[in-house]
Structure 1
């Protein structure tokens, strides 16, 4: 599903350049929940952004779902993010004036999905994340855990092949964070999605199929 070959990324130039990634290489097969851990500043977000097509490496190649991202122009990366990659961030990123159901349906509206198909998909996702009873509530009326569940459902709306989650439990308490990781595990099974999640929570790492550790811009598999 993901193949990263000798990827390097630096910010700045000359003696002040910061090397975020150094010759990173690894593969992730389809249908796995893989955790990415590392200290703050270890390069986790940079790596996720490159795999998600939000940034480009200085060197190396990244292949996602049989597509070489490093050969794509911006339009191609945009189409890949829209159609095959879903994103979940710790800030949730929900639209305040929309209900939970409407937030989940936003990606489907952007793709001009037929109304009946959109409604069916939204209903299915609300059920998957356990929020069918909260469909008409707005983000301000939901708990942090519920808002993150809406964000996960929205990321799944277009049936992506890959879900990227950057510290999705960062604003949640330990119990709610564990529930989120269990939900992601269920998503792998029910939706057939490959998930790459950045987290530093030791309890959550235990739910992953595999753990990749970033140290000083280099990956070590554990």
Structure 2
């Protein structure tokens, strides 16, 4: 599903340049849940942004679902992020004025899905994440764990092949974080999704099929 080969990414030039990634290579099979660990500043977020098509490498190649990202123009990358990659962020990223159901439906509105299909998919996803009874509540009326569940449902709205999550439990207490990670694990199995999840929580790492460790921009452990 994902193939990363000798990827390098730096910010700035000259002596002040920051080398975020230094020749990173790995592969992720279909249906795998792979955890990415490493200290703050190790390059995790940079790597996730590159794999998700939010940024481009200085060197190396990234292939997602058989597509070389370097061959995509801006419109191609937009389509990739809309239709084939789902994103989950530490800060939830929900739209405050929209209900949980409306937030989940946003990606389907962007691709102009049929309204009936959209409503059915939203109801299914909210039930899947255990929030069927909270569809009409806005983010401010939900707990942190509930908001992250809405964010997971939204990420799955367009049936992505790849799910990318950047510290999805970072703002949650340990018990809630574990419940959210177990939900991600179940979603990967149930929906047949591949997932790359950055996390520093040792308990959560145990739920992954495989762990990649980044240190100073390099993979040091598989």
Distance in 2 (alpha carbons) for counterparts of 1:18 and 1:100: 39
Where 1:97 maps in the other structure, the secondary structure is coil
**1:74 is aligned to 2:74:** yes
Equivalent residue, structure 1, for 2:61: 61
1:181 corresponds to? 181
Consecutive unaligned residues in structure 2, runs of 5 or more? none
CA distance in 1 between partners of 2:112 and 2:5 (Å): 36
Structure-to-structure mapping, 1:81-160, within 5 angstroms = 81-160=81-160
Matched residue SS, 1:95: coil
Superposition RMSD on alpha carbons, in Å?
A: 0.7
Unaligned runs of 5+ in 1: none
TM-score (normalizing by structure 1): 0.99
1:20-59 to 2 correspondence within 5 Å? Answer: 20-59=20-59
Offset from partner CA, 1:88-126 (integer Å, 9 cap, x none): 001111111111011000111111111111111001100
Question: 1:59, 1:114 → 2: CA distance?
Answer: 40
Distance 1:113 1:74 in 2: 22
User: What is the distance in 1 between the residues matched to 2:112 and 2:70?
Assistant: 28
SS at match of 1:157: coil
For 2:108 and 2:14, locate their aligned partners in 1 and report how far apart those are by CA, in whole Å. 45
How far apart, in 2, do the equivalents of 1:85 and 1:208 lie?
19
The runs of at least 4 aligned residues of structure 1 exceeding 2 Å deviation read none
TM-score between both structures, scaled by the size of structure 2: 0.99
Give the corresponding residue for 1:10: 10
Alpha-carbon separation, structure 1, partners of 2:70 and 2:110: 26
Quote the offset at 1:221 in angstroms.
3.5
